[in-house]
Structure 1
Amino acid sequence: MKRALLVVDVQNDFCEGGSLPVAGGAEVAHDIARLLQRWLDKTPDSPAYDVVVASKDHHLDPGEHWAHEPDYVDSWPVHCKVGSDGEAFHPNLDPQPFDAIFLKGEHQAAYSAFEGRTTGGTGLGEWLRAHEIEEVDICGIATDHCVRASAIDAVAEGFTTSVLLDLCAGVAPETTAAALEQMRTAGVTVE
């Protein structure tokens, strides 16, 4: 079985110092980078990934997704605006050996990486199937939002899906616990 690693939204705005910081985001970026370096170096303990892909929040004008007085449920402060430093991958996420990057949320809210597309217009599910991927491991930010949505969609798309919890950061303990339960119920393995 061919296996992919999906790195979800490890961007400046979702790490400490960003407009929507998640505690531990910078550390998660560093830890994912260590995993990616082992994969590149093909060390004895390196993971067996056939491809490595990433998603990015990529907002031009997402409408009501942004608000001056956000409710932090359906509306949020301005974040990951195209061309801003906040939209960039966090500097701790180095190397970035991504076979493809999927951009999501240009004109509306988008939480799942499966809502994203390459600059050429290919969706994540289509891209993974074209590369004969059957298993997807997911890591990134935030466990209780975009990681959760991406994992549930991965199962719905027919992929055997695992979330690498030690390579994720969640917004709040309560919402993270609820997200873990939702993912398990959907058939996601949480490791």
Structure 2
Amino acid sequence: MSKKALIVIDIQNEYFENGGLPLVNPIEASLNARKVLEHFRANDLPVAHIQHISANPDEMPIFVEGTKGAEIHENVMPIEGEKVFQKNFPNSFRDTGLLEYLKENDVTEVVITGMMTHMCVDATTRAAFDFGFNCTVIGDTCASRDLEINGKTVKADDVHHAFLAALEFFYAEIKNTKDYLSA
């Protein structure tokens, strides 16, 4: 029998209005993530919150430990008993206790929510798959931003959907909140 755990990646104030790295539609994504989080809480399933902290605030003056921007957003604030792992890299497993936590709880399937779709959600999903977990990404709980390459702007919606499509090709099942909760 498969045991699920929820991973809530970097839903932090820096990604919202007035933050250092605002995304497109972070409120909507965080409210959907809260619905999934409430489902896991109601079913007494493991939850892991991931909090990005700048390893070098002089070079990356956002996500600085102890600042409002680095705090987990109020829409998905951890409650007593939920694990919080701080990370310094896009991959939520790198130099954190996340893998050990999931193994200790006999988890075989991870459900992934969070920010940014094109960076930390992508890196964490691929790593989780490589560690042997079945992965589900709830696409409407994630958010991205416009990116630029070679003088061209790629709109956030296109970035978001391109990364979800790439993950669904091999690494994860992609669902939306409504479909996931009704299954």
The TM-score normalised by the length of structure 1 is: 0.77
Relative distance call for 1:94 and 1:159 in structure 2 (3 A) is same
Q: Cα deviations across residues 84-133 of structure 1 (Å, max 9, x unaligned)?
A: 1100011222464662111111xxxx11111252xxxxx21121011100
- The alpha-carbon deviation at position 140 of structure 1 amounts to 1.0
Distance in 1 separating the partners of 2:70 and 2:64: 6
Distance in 2 separating the partners of 1:92 and 1:36: 10
Relative distance call for 1:155 and 1:52 in structure 2 (3 A) is same
TM alignment of 1:70-109, pairs within 5 A: 78-94=61-77, 96=79, 99-105=82-88
Distance in 2 separating the partners of 1:49 and 1:141: 24
Is 2:92 the partner of 1:113?
Answer: yes
Relative distance call for 1:94 and 1:31 in structure 2 (3 A) is farther
Q: 1:159 aligns with which of 121, 130, 133?
A: 133
Q: Tell me the amino acid that sits aligned with residue 50 of structure 1.
A: L
Is 2:23 the partner of 1:22?
Answer: yes
Please say if residues 140 and 169 of structure 1, whose CA atoms lie closer than 8 Å, have aligned partners that are also in contact: yes
Counterpart in the other structure of 1:70:
none
SS at match of 1:140: strand
For structure 2, the 5+ residue unaligned runs are 146-155, 176-183
- The alpha-carbon deviation at position 57 of structure 1 amounts to 0.6
Q: Tell me the amino acid that sits aligned with residue 116 of structure 2.
A: A
For structure 1, the 5+ residue unaligned runs are 43-47, 67-77, 118-122
Please say if residues 36 and 95 of structure 1, whose CA atoms lie closer than 8 Å, have aligned partners that are also in contact: no
TM alignment of 1:1-191, pairs within 5 A: 1-40=2-41, 42=42, 48=43, 50-61=45-56, 66=60, 78-94=61-77, 96=79, 99-105=82-88, 110-117=89-96, 123-171=97-145, 172-191=156-175
Relative distance call for 1:38 and 1:190 in structure 2 (3 A) is closer
Please say if residues 2 and 49 of structure 1, whose CA atoms lie closer than 8 Å, have aligned partners that are also in contact: no
- The alpha-carbon deviation at position 165 of structure 1 amounts to 0.8
